[in-house]
Amino acid sequence: MILNAIDKKQLTAIVLLDMSKGFDSIDTMTLLTKLEDVGAPCQAIQWFQSYLTSRYRVVRIQTTLSEPLEVKSGVPQGSILGPLLFSIYVNDLPSVPQQCSPYSYVDDTKLLMSFSLQHQQRAISEINQDLLRIRNWCFDNKLLLNPEKTKAMICGSRQMRAKLPNFRLSLLGKEIIPVTSAKDLGVILDSGLTFDSHVQATISSSKFYEKEVNTNCSCLDACNRIIYETDLSYALFNDIANTTSLHNQFTRAHNASTSERQSSSVDVKWRDYLRENILQLSIYFNELSYIRTESVPAYSWESFMAEAGGTLGLFLGASFLTIAELLDFLCHIVAFLFRKRQQNIKD
């Protein structure tokens, strides 16, 4: 939408709405009504009513607990159902604006409108009307917009933005002045769509983590140095001699893929070889430490022979004792029969 407007020599106004404690402000009865509107069965609604009502919170300071206070609004944050219930709660919000194009993702909502310089005042009026409609919808649904954190931004070519006079919006009696950059869903957008601010923020973050790795590395096999580049990231270890050579060949192959006219036939050959035989992986670490896992045999040769010998000795010992006991028992029977026969002969 924004790029199409730029092609038409138009500007695009973006309003990034912010709701104050949206998850905590959900009205339980309104949510149950909206669950019924989307077709939830009666049994499920009763389950959600039991899930969301009769909740209490306490404050603990060391070993002292406050009196329980009933929670009468909101959904449990951090739960799996929290974002889903909030999405159902604001499901009808995108239908409220009549002039702007709304885009929503859970509690992040933005309004977009493209306009020409000649229709600037009309665009301001229509955006303010949609903001008023959204404000009224929030009041009806017991949600509150935060004008302090609501951002407005004008996107377009540099020439068109330079010709734009003062562009002012109003929300809850507060004037919203357009900014040159704003963060939306983790991405820093700028009015020229150059993403320079986002790239600089990413570089600054990577430099911070690089410093943390170099100063607080807890690896058992620490690497000599860690190199960050746009094409290849790698670590130089003492026992890997071909790392530098591989990186050099990768660089030559990359140069061959970007400008074949300035590359030699050897570079082109390496490029084709790497394309067919090398798989490049981008590895990201969640933590600056690792767990070392070592596999060892369950039985060594000595322990196996010892246990086998002990088991065999126990078995053979039991066998000899059993045979001896049987022979002794047979001898007693023979002796008993012999004595009985001798006694019968005497009688």
Q: Is 175 exposed, middle or buried (0-12, 13-18, 19+ CB in 10 A)?
A: exposed
- Measuring CA to CA, which residue among 229, 221, 224 is closest to residue 247? 229
Decide if 112 contacts 12 (C-beta within 8 A): yes
Please give the pLDDT value at position 230.
39
Q: At what angle do helices 265-277 and 243-258 cross, to 10 degrees?
A: 110
pLDDT band at 54 (very low <50, low <70, confident <90, very high): confident
Taking CA atoms, 56 is separated from 52, 73, 216, in Å, by 11, 11, 43
**Residue 289: pLDDT over 80:** no
> Residue 183, SS3?
strand
pLDDT in tens, 99-123: 888 888 877 888 898 888 888 888 8
In DSSP terms, which residues pair with 87 in a beta bridge? none
Across the range 286-307, mean pLDDT stands at 72
What the block records as the tokens of 84 is 């889903």
**Running DSSP on this structure, what letter comes out for residue 92?**
T
- Measuring CA to CA, which residue among 75, 77, 98 is closest to residue 88? 75
Element (H, E) at 321: helix 301-346
Across the range 16-34, mean pLDDT stands at 87
Please give the pLDDT value at position 315.
61
Half-sphere exposure of 54 (CA within 13 A, CB side): 5
More confident of the two residues 166 and 206? 166
**Residue 332: pLDDT over 70:** yes
CA distance 313 to 315: 5
Please give the mean pLDDT across all residues of the chain.
76
Which residues make Cβ contacts (< 8 Å) with residue 12, sequence separation at least 6? Answer: 1, 2, 5, 6, 112, 113, 114, 115, 154, 155, 156
Please give the pLDDT value at position 157.
83
pLDDT band at 184 (very low <50, low <70, confident <90, very high): confident
Tokens 């989307």 belong to residue? 38
More confident of the two residues 142 and 204? 142
Please give the pLDDT value at position 166.
80
Taking CA atoms, 70 is separated from 67, 74, 75, in Å, by 10, 12, 13
Which of 144-153, 267-276, 291-300 comes out lowest in average pLDDT? 267-276
Which of 25-34, 153-162, 191-200, 246-255 comes out lowest in average pLDDT? 246-255
Please give the pLDDT value at position 249.
61
What the block records as the tokens of 254 is 């990359």
CA distance 102 to 95: 8
pLDDT in tens, 2-12: 788 777 888 88
Please give the pLDDT value at position 274.
60
CA distance 101 to 97: 7
Which residues make Cβ contacts (< 8 Å) with residue 280, sequence separation at least 6? Answer: 232
Tell me the whole-structure pTM to 2 decimals.
0.56
DSSP-assigned letters across all residues of 249-285: HHHHHHHHHH-GGGS-HHHHHHHHHHHHH--------
CA distance 60 to 57: 10
CA distance 168 to 70: 42
Decide if 112 contacts 103 (C-beta within 8 A): yes
Please give the pLDDT value at position 160.
80
> Residue 254, SS3?
helix
> Residue 185, SS3?
coil
More confident of the two residues 90 and 277? 90
Which residues make Cβ contacts (< 8 Å) with residue 289, sequence separation at least 6? Answer: 218, 219
> Residue 292, SS3?
coil
**Running DSSP on this structure, what letter comes out for residue 37?**
H
pLDDT in tens, 224-282: 444 444 344 444 444 444 555 656 666 665 565 555 445 556 566 666 666 666 665 66
Please give the pLDDT value at position 314.
61
CA distance 207 to 268: 33
CA distance 145 to 169: 14
Across the range 152-160, mean pLDDT stands at 84
Across the range 186-202, mean pLDDT stands at 82
Across the range 167-173, mean pLDDT stands at 84
Please give the pLDDT value at position 233.
45
